[in-house]
Copies of this chain bind each other. A is one copy, B any other.
């Protein structure tokens, strides 16, 4: 029985782009602002092992020559299917409230896996859910105002501004994809 974690999907998504070794993946997690996933070997190698036993990934080559001895891993067709399945799960409002990180990870991989039009549809639904969530958040903040210290109030506002930035970003992203279609 397999339950793929967000970390697992991050690995699948990266391998979809390019077959890589554990070490290469580690470097990506360590050196890029990607999601803030762990780059520790104790996280990555067990995760790879799991994905391998589930046959979602497989060693394509265990080269000993030039680039040292390393196990290059690639997606199997089942791995690709699992990744697609995950990307195709429709958004719900609760996701927007709590799992923006998950959403952005999905988006990052979506174009290459599902194509432009699916990505655009995803952006539309994200836009819709964000717009539904914003007033809920502002109302909550208003309701709390006065019942917390300034810093609590401001902390909430920080979250609000973050979501506002996402709203603007979605519009921007949509325009990029819409512009591309014609």
Contact = CB atoms under 8 A, between A and B. Distances in A.
Interface stretch (A53-61, A70-78, A102-110): A102-110
A159 B104 contact: yes
A97 interface: yes
A176 B164 CA distance: 20
Contacts of A108: 151-152, 155
Interface stretch (A1-9, A19-27, A40-48, A166-174): A166-174
A154 B140 contact: no
A32 interface: yes
Interface string A156-182: 111101101110110011001100100
Contacts of A151: 107-112, 119
A109 B32 CA distance: 30
A177 to B, nearest CB: 7
Interface string A26-38: 0000001100100
27 contacts: A33-B97, A33-B137, A33-B140, A33-B159, A36-B98, A104-B158, A104-B159, A107-B155, A107-B158, A108-B151, A108-B152, A108-B155, A109-B151, A110-B151, A111-B149, A111-B150, A111-B152, A112-B151, A150-B176, A150-B177, A150-B180, A154-B169, A154-B172, A154-B173, A157-B172, A162-B162, A164-B165
Given A157-B169, A161-B165, 12 more contacts: A33-B156, A36-B98, A105-B155, A107-B154, A108-B151, A108-B155, A111-B149, A150-B177, A150-B180, A154-B169, A154-B172, A162-B165
